[in-house]
Amino acid sequence: MDLHDADAAAITATDPAAETGRAETDGRVVAIRGAVIDIAFSGGDLPPIDDALIVRDGDGGSVVVEVQAHRDATTVRAIAMATTTGFRRGDRVERVGGPIRVPVGDAVLGRLLDVGGRVGDGGAPLLADAPLRPIHAPPPSLSAQRGASDLFATGIKVLDLLTPLAQGGKAAMFGGAGVGKTVLVMELIHAMAESYAGLSVFAGVGERSREGHEMLLDMTNSGVLEHTVLVYGQMNEPPGARWRVPLTALTIAEYFRDEAHRDVLLLMDNVFRFVQAGAEVSGLLGRMPSRVGYQPTLASEVAALQERIASVGDASVTAIEAVYVPADDFTDPAVTTIAAHVDSMVVLSRSMAAEGMYPAVDPIASSSILLDPLVVGEEHARVAADVRRAIEHYRELQDVISLLGMEELGAEDRRIAERARRLQRFLTQPFAVTDAFTGVPGRSVSIADTIAGCRTILDGGCDDWRESSLYMVGTLEEARAKEMAARQADAAAAPATTGAKR
């Protein structure tokens, strides 16, 4: 997918008034260095920062670029949204008269688009009368926004109990490579398609081609594609395309929120690659790097994206973002900058993933501003605090347990440790998206069932159960049935064993 001839023609057609006097204000390419193009203009004012331009070569090819800097009174420096192979100095450059515009509305539902709104799923082209919106827009004013306090039930036990999500809020899944971020986001898409009446917009930032293809097939087979828009900036595309893909997806979501007054679920995988693409662009533009080599504009770029995600009037945009943590370093500037903007932080633990505790959500490091008795209720807040306290106490005892064993603990410490282990296993859950690999159907659990199950374990109602009975189940009733079946199997095997000994 790239921004070549078809996109350039579409973007040019979005502003017919720009045709007047275009010949006098056209520019010429004076230098090309990969994705960076310097363009000189002989007449008129220079195009503003973030404006789109179209570079045309002598063979009929074209590429869309975005202005990023004014070098002097007549020259701008721009970043290309596609490869610049075949372009040369002296090529003609046309003004568009505004930022890149992308198609929005019902026409894009069920389609896969690139950063410029070009169809990438091999289907029919979009209708010519589809509404268009610029990808750059100011965030809603503070007075127009409404608070996000309604719970967004996911059916995933550990999320609903310990890091409740807000409808109209922002949640981020932080984790290193291979701990299950993408699987968790995919499960949330599946869960929302089952119980959520709104629309979904998925932004694949720096995704592998295989991942995009698999997601398109999964959504087609599950029948939820007609309520979803997929926007991809793939890993093999220039940094400019990966940098602007989240803005394209957000623009589509904003249209449904503002014009159609519909709730929208915005999913982004992976926001770290958005920051990474911005760092690449910054380096190409010759800016001095900041902390750990990141771009000096890191905070403002992340804020420009995150502050547009808001609830306005009777409709909301709810964002769920996957964030890669480089080398599992949660003090990385990109991670801390993104974390400052989210309401719910879901931290994925490598050690829990190694133990097979999926989803590998760290119950201690994860947090949510909604976990307040005034929002979720007294019982929910109390159970969540008790679960955290038990697991934290168990972690404090793990060094002693690993050296001396559980038998050396005092009676109270041993009871807490055993219940904490059962809680950790009860908070695991089979996912619908992993059914094809594990053969275990996915489970969705209500918040009430999750709270009741955890309270029973905390109160000692499962002290004589096998830990395996609580692993990878939905409700506590399912675990009870699993425990009863195991006991019956043991009872049936006992006479046979006794007879064999005789």
Residues designated catalytic: 181, 207-208
The SS3 of residue 477 is: helix
Q: How many Å apart are CA 56 and CA 47, to the nearest integer? A: 17
Peptide bond connecting 47 to the previous residue in cis, omega within 30 degrees of 0: no
Q: Which two tokens stand for residue 6?
A: 């078809």
**Radius of gyration, CA atoms only, the chain:** 27
Other CB atoms within 10 A of residue 45 CB: 7
Report the DSSP pairing between strands 170-175 and 344-347. parallel
Residues 6 or more apart whose Cβ sits within 8 Å of residue 320:
165, 171, 172, 173, 185, 188, 265, 266, 267, 268
Helix or strand (DSSP H, E) at 495: helix 476-501
Alpha helices in 259-290 (DSSP H): 271-284
Q: How many Å apart are CA 168 and CA 477, to the nearest integer? A: 33
Other CB atoms within 10 A of residue 131 CB: 14
Return the C-alpha torsion angle 48, 51, 55, 56, nearest 10. Answer: -110
Contact 319, 170 (CB under 8 A): yes
